[in-house]
Structure 1
Amino acid sequence: MRGRNRSGDEGRTRHAPRACGGGRVPSPEGRAGGPPWVRDWPGREPGGGVPWRSSLLLAVFVLVGSGFAARGQPDREPLDALARALLLAGPAMLLLRHRYPVTVLHGVAATALVYLGAGYPYGPVFLTIAVAVFAAIVAGHRYAAWWVLGLLWAGHLLVAHWLYRYLPPAGDGPAPWGQELPIAASVVAIVTLSELARVRRQEWARVRAERAAAEKRRADEERLRIARELHDVLAHSISVINVQAGVGLALLDSDPEQARTALTTIKAASKEALGEVRQVLDTLRTPGERGEAPRAPAPGLDRLPELVEQAASAGLAVEVTTDGTRADLPPGADLAAFRIVQEALTNVVRHSGSRTARVHLAYAPGRLDLRIDDEGPATGTDAGGTGNGLAGMRERAASLGGTIEAGPRPDGGFRVHATLPLRPTKENTP
């Protein structure tokens, strides 16, 4: 324009929360996207802290700069107490620019216009307007900022070119029209920079939302994986324990030796279940926190004989047949195949009246076919089951890009048929 912990648990170590996959939960600053100084932008989210540091620095600069500017403008009114109060009013209102950007913008513009109308020297007072406009535009109040700038410019034109004869200082003349060009350029620069900052802020908000959604999706997937593992481990082992407990109770008096065998089976099944549950829960720990390797590798089809033996201890005879050349499977496919067979046999023990089952493995290039059959009929009881077994099998197959079909056979009984694609990895290459 013109010219100790507070919970009272003293001996307890408290750990920061971790992601389900064992990684460290990022801090809010790390998820925000963009440089750290964006947290003190004039237009950051409402409700943030009071920007007193930047406002204090601006107040000092405006006061000192206006004092120097007054020396070169002897024809203007000297800086008195009212002038200094008006100069400080702008930075003082800017303390609330995060919470009330539009109101602050109107107040700062009105204060600057009163300062100009009173005939005080031109100078850094316009910086307060620039900061207020920046805060309003970055906060999303674009049209309000444009309107206020337009009204302020119109007020300046009235004061500088028409009302000057009625306003201090006495004897002042009209301002040259040539100075309006740099003023217009300054206004365009302020608006342009503010719009660019608004666009970047929206882009960072979008990236932040995408990262948060991705973290939530990964956490949900990890929780689902752990839920599947726990279901498969516990459902199988508890089914064996349930059957053997019934046998032991029935034979406790008539055949103590057979009852002892049932109790031995229960002990072995519960020990194995505890080991597998511990292994699943260990995946929740941060790698290296305990300084030890996993207790055991993830189960695969190499443990199929143990599964058959466990089923036999529950009174289920399992016949295993294989077609094709047996090949090493990728870890994910090997675990999924084992769990599908385990869940299918568990369902036979719990839901079928048949005491026999057939497991057929067919190895083909890039594919493994699993088929588990029993002769039925269904018993109509669920033995305390949760109904999540078939859903878990489908999720395991789908996670590998495979398919699974499960349902009654036309000739009676029940069949589970899974097709798992095999993606060779370097560690599985002979």
Structure 2
Amino acid sequence: MVKQRAAGGGPPRWWPDGPRTRRHGPPWRNRSDEEEARGNRLPWASTAVFTVFVLVGSHFSARNQQGHRVPLDAYAVALLLLTSGLLLWRRRHPVFVVFGTTAATLAYAAAGYPYGPVFLAVAVACFSAVVEGHRRAAWTAVGLLWAGHALIALLLYGVLPPAGDTAGTWSQELIVGTWVVAVVAVSELARSRREQWAKERAERAQAARRRADAERLRIARELHDVLAHSISVINVQAGVGLALLDSDPEKARAALTTIKAASKEALGEVRQVLGTLRAPGEAPRAPAPGLDRLPELVEQAAHAGLTVDVEGGAPRLPPGTDLAAFRIVQEALTNVVRHSGSRHARVRLAHDGGTLRLTVDDDGPATDGDAGGSGNGLAGMRERAAALGGTIDAGPRPGGGWRVLAALPLTAEEEDR
């Protein structure tokens, strides 16, 4: 029956993680398509080798036990082929196979045929069932094998072939029981190791997804900061150019020149950010921006009609902190251009007590009821600061206007530079 696909053409509902992984078997298994294909493939080669081993081994066992057990005949060969052949389906139907091999092996023993490698088929079936998660079925099957063998050896030996057979001893049955326990223990050990491997693989995949999410968030912040600032400048200058196109062509030309420069710079920074997606692991072609480019921000703000005063200075910063400080100032000035009626802003840089403090003030008032800017801009600034262990405070200033205060921690080594 064809499964119903989810709305919107997505993966089928019985695929919880999309088409690349499926849940199959016990809960701890989460196999990929390739692993699923291997699991569904019948193990012809290994089953054929095992069948030959059982037939040859049983033949030699019969020669060594001649006179004590019933000689091999067509019925014995049929039981040996059935027991070994069932292992062909040990991956698809492990419960059926472990009980089937147990029943066939008990029938072989009850017929009085020589003891030999046929018992190993139950061990292989038990191993497969335990590894596939059917532990209770495997334990039950090997328990029935031991109980049946004890019943045949201790009670039914007089009515079952070979004629004149003697009763077994409890010490022999203890050896058989030890063998059964050993088979179950090895199977459980393999299952435990496989669970551990599956858990480690899932943890590695989860860590990789977290790293990918963090990288996507970083790229989203970079693109937001670059585009929001540049498009704000372009928007303001386009309005100026349209207003002065007829009355003052020279100023309109200057506005268009500013638009061209801002768009060129934005394209360059966007290419740098997207370059990390096209060539992972390669060094960026251009250095990441930092506070040394603060004069460029001031100049761009001036083209947008905003006068910016810069006070104080910052120590030499590591690239991550330097980039975060630059982007925070850039976003704050962008919000002033877009959302404040003030044409004057102040940027103050100070560091004390191992903390770099960035303050961006404007006199307001807000032009659209939101002097602080959009939620995405403030959220991006807070995420940048939080990634470095810092904080962002943004809100109205006493006496009017808006203030953005960023506190970014510095290590002792960085502060001494």
- TM-score range (shorter-chain normalised) is 0.7 to 0.9
Q: Which residue of 2 aligns with 1:121?
A: 114
**5 Å matches for 1:160-239?**
160-239=153-232
Q: Which residue of 2 aligns with 1:15?
A: none
Deviation (angstroms), 1:142: 2.1
Q: Unaligned regions of 5+ residues in structure 1, if any?
A: 1-26, 29-38
Q: Is the 8 A contact 1:237 1:270 kept in 2?
A: yes
Q: Which residue of 1 aligns with 2:26?
A: none
> One-letter code of the match for 1:312?
A
Q: Which residue of 2 aligns with 1:57?
A: 49
> 149-158 or 326-335, which moves further after superposition?
149-158
Q: Which residue of 2 aligns with 1:378?
A: 366
> 1:244 & 1:166 partners in 2: Cα distance?
106
Q: Which residue of 2 aligns with 1:422?
A: 410
Q: Which residue of 1 aligns with 2:383?
A: 395
| Offset from partner CA, 1:262-318 (integer Å, 9 cap, x none) | 0000000000000000111111233577xxx53310000000000000000000111
Q: Which residue of 2 aligns with 1:410?
A: 398
Q: What is the DSSP-based 3-state SS (H/G/I as helix, E as strand, rest coil) of the residue aligned with 1:420?
A: strand
Q: Is the 8 A contact 1:94 1:132 kept in 2?
A: yes
> 1:136 & 1:406 partners in 2: Cα distance?
61
Q: Is the 8 A contact 1:362 1:368 kept in 2?
A: yes
Q: Which among 311, 314, 319 is matched to residue 321 of structure 1?
A: 311
Q: Is the 8 A contact 2:272 2:286 kept in 1?
A: yes
Q: Is the 8 A contact 2:146 2:180 kept in 1?
A: no
Q: Which among 302, 321, 324 is matched to residue 292 of structure 2?
A: 302
Deviation (angstroms), 1:104: 1.2
Deviation (angstroms), 1:125: 0.4
Q: Which among 133, 137, 159 is matched to residue 144 of structure 1?
A: 137
Q: Is the 8 A contact 1:361 1:371 kept in 2?
A: yes
Q: Is the 8 A contact 1:350 1:381 kept in 2?
A: no
Q: Which residue of 1 aligns with 2:301?
A: 311
Q: Which residue of 1 aligns with 2:102?
A: 109
Pair 1:321–1:202, CA change in 2 (3 A):
same
In the superposition, the TM-score normalised over structure 2's length comes to 0.86
Deviation (angstroms), 1:381: 7.0
Deviation (angstroms), 1:170: 2.7
Q: What is the DSSP-based 3-state SS (H/G/I as helix, E as strand, rest coil) of the residue aligned with 2:380?
A: helix
Q: Which residue of 2 aligns with 1:69?
A: 61
In the superposition, the TM-score normalised over structure 1's length comes to 0.84
Q: What is the DSSP-based 3-state SS (H/G/I as helix, E as strand, rest coil) of the residue aligned with 1:98?
A: coil
| Offset from partner CA, 1:317-360 (integer Å, 9 cap, x none) | 1111116xx41001100000000000000001111111111111
Pair 1:143–1:328, CA change in 2 (3 A):
same
> 1:362 & 1:429 partners in 2: Cα distance?
14
**5 Å matches for 1:329-368?**
329-368=317-356
Deviation (angstroms), 1:198: 1.6
Deviation (angstroms), 1:129: 0.6
Q: What is the DSSP-based 3-state SS (H/G/I as helix, E as strand, rest coil) of the residue aligned with 2:148?
A: helix
Deviation (angstroms), 1:134: 1.3
Q: Which among 83, 91, 95 is matched to residue 98 of structure 1?
A: 91
> 2:317 & 2:353 partners in 1: Cα distance?
12
> 1:101 & 1:423 partners in 2: Cα distance?
60
> 2:97 & 2:180 partners in 1: Cα distance?
18
> 1:280 & 1:399 partners in 2: Cα distance?
19
Q: Which residue of 2 aligns with 1:6?
A: none
| Offset from partner CA, 1:359-406 (integer Å, 9 cap, x none) | 1111224210001111111111789x8641100000000000001111
> One-letter code of the match for 1:210?
E
> One-letter code of the match for 1:294?
P
Q: Is the 8 A contact 2:356 2:408 kept in 1?
A: yes
> One-letter code of the match for 1:61?
F
> 1:401 & 1:315 partners in 2: Cα distance?
34
Q: Which residue of 2 aligns with 1:369?
A: 357
> 2:86 & 2:61 partners in 1: Cα distance?
23
Pair 1:278–1:234, CA change in 2 (3 A):
same
Deviation (angstroms), 1:240: 0.4
- Of all paired residues, the percent bearing the same amino acid is 69
Q: What is the DSSP-based 3-state SS (H/G/I as helix, E as strand, rest coil) of the residue aligned with 1:388?
A: helix
Deviation (angstroms), 1:49: 3.0
Q: Unaligned regions of 5+ residues in structure 2, if any?
A: 1-19, 22-31
Higher relative contact order (CA 8 A, sep 6+): 1
Q: Provide the aligned C-alpha RMSD in A.
A: 2.5
Q: Which residue of 2 aligns with 1:8?
A: none
> 2:374 & 2:60 partners in 1: Cα distance?
81
| Offset from partner CA, 1:49-87 (integer Å, 9 cap, x none) | 322222222111111111111101113222222212211
Q: What is the DSSP-based 3-state SS (H/G/I as helix, E as strand, rest coil) of the residue aligned with 2:89?
A: coil
Q: What is the DSSP-based 3-state SS (H/G/I as helix, E as strand, rest coil) of the residue aligned with 2:277?
A: coil
Q: What is the DSSP-based 3-state SS (H/G/I as helix, E as strand, rest coil) of the residue aligned with 2:113?
A: coil
Q: Is the 8 A contact 1:350 1:382 kept in 2?
A: no
> 92-101 or 170-179, which moves further after superposition?
170-179
Pair 1:337–1:288, CA change in 2 (3 A):
closer
Q: What is the DSSP-based 3-state SS (H/G/I as helix, E as strand, rest coil) of the residue aligned with 2:288?
A: coil
Q: Is the 8 A contact 1:236 1:346 kept in 2?
A: yes
| Offset from partner CA, 1:211-259 (integer Å, 9 cap, x none) | 1110000000000000000000000000000010111111111110000
**5 Å matches for 1:258-277?**
258-277=251-270
Q: Which residue of 2 aligns with 1:10?
A: none
> 2:58 & 2:273 partners in 1: Cα distance?
69
Pair 1:379–1:255, CA change in 2 (3 A):
same
> One-letter code of the match for 1:302?
D
